[in-house]
Amino acid sequence: MKRDNAYTVLLVSANEKMTTSLRLYLSREDYGPVTVSESVSAARRLVSQREFDVIIVNTPLKDELGISFAIEVADSTSSSVMLLVSAEAFDEVSEKVADCGVFVLAKPFNATVLGYSMKMMCSTRERLLRMEQKQKTFEEKLEEIKLVNRAKIILVENLSFTEEEAHKFIEKNAMNERKSKVDIARKIITEYRR
């Protein structure tokens, strides 16, 4: 894995033996810290307080099965989510959560299968983080365009500029003052609000 720091993990498991085995595996340098929760209600609180790279839900849990929780966090966070289910329930659960982006692993499994699965989970997390960053960049660009357009409207209304003249005015001032068009737009907006 390429990441400089370890992947944070939330392990939601009421089975002490499974929790111990998974913690042992996840003690590698690629993962940590590993936070453990024995119930969905406690896990929900943890997820509301901080972000995790990977969330592993070992079904069943004390207060519910855990499938709804897995779907919920896959939908509302950028965490990679994995459900550990019995081999008998694998097909049914996989069908239920596939469209939600939840990975399902049938129990029992060995360290090699878990290793491949964790690599896939971390790879998915990186992809989700890149998509999230692209969305932020897009939203920032959209906000910048809105600010510049608002400043142009102010110049058109207050100084009788054409839209093209307003655009050139903002560009010229940005070059002269060695600032961005957004900074000039903010300055214009602030100046004419008075």
Query: 117 lies in a domain?
Result: no
- pLDDT at position 57: 97
pLDDT by residue (tens digit) across 34-86?
999 999 999 999 999 999 999 999 999 988 999 999 999 999 998 999 999 99
Q: Are 13 and 105 contained in the same domain?
A: yes
- pLDDT at position 3: 56
Place of tokens 């001032």: 173
Residue 24 confidence (pLDDT) above 80: yes
Structure tokens at 112: 């090699």
**Among candidate residues 118, 88, 119, the one with its CA nearest the CA of residue 106:** 88
Q: Using alpha carbons only, give the angle 135, 30, 115 rounded to the nearest 5 degrees.
A: 95
Query: Residue 27 is part of a domain; what is its CATH number?
Result: 3.40.50.2300
Question: What is the mean pLDDT of the segment spanning 155-180?
Answer: 92
Q: Are 154 and 97 contained in the same domain?
A: no
- pLDDT at position 129: 80
Query: How many domains does the chain divide into?
Result: 2
Residue 2 confidence (pLDDT) above 90: no
Query: Residue 175 is part of a domain; what is its CATH number?
Result: 1.10.10.10
Question: What is the mean pLDDT of the segment spanning 22-31?
Answer: 83
Q: Are 38 and 103 contained in the same domain?
A: yes
CB atoms within 10 A of CB 155: 21
pLDDT by residue (tens digit) across 151-160?
999 999 999 9
- pLDDT at position 111: 86
The model's pTM:
0.70
Domain that holds residue 167: 136-193
- pLDDT at position 194: 67
Q: Are 13 and 101 contained in the same domain?
A: yes
Q: Would you call 153 exposed, middle or buried from its count of C-beta atoms within 10 A (0-12, 13-18, 19+)?
A: middle
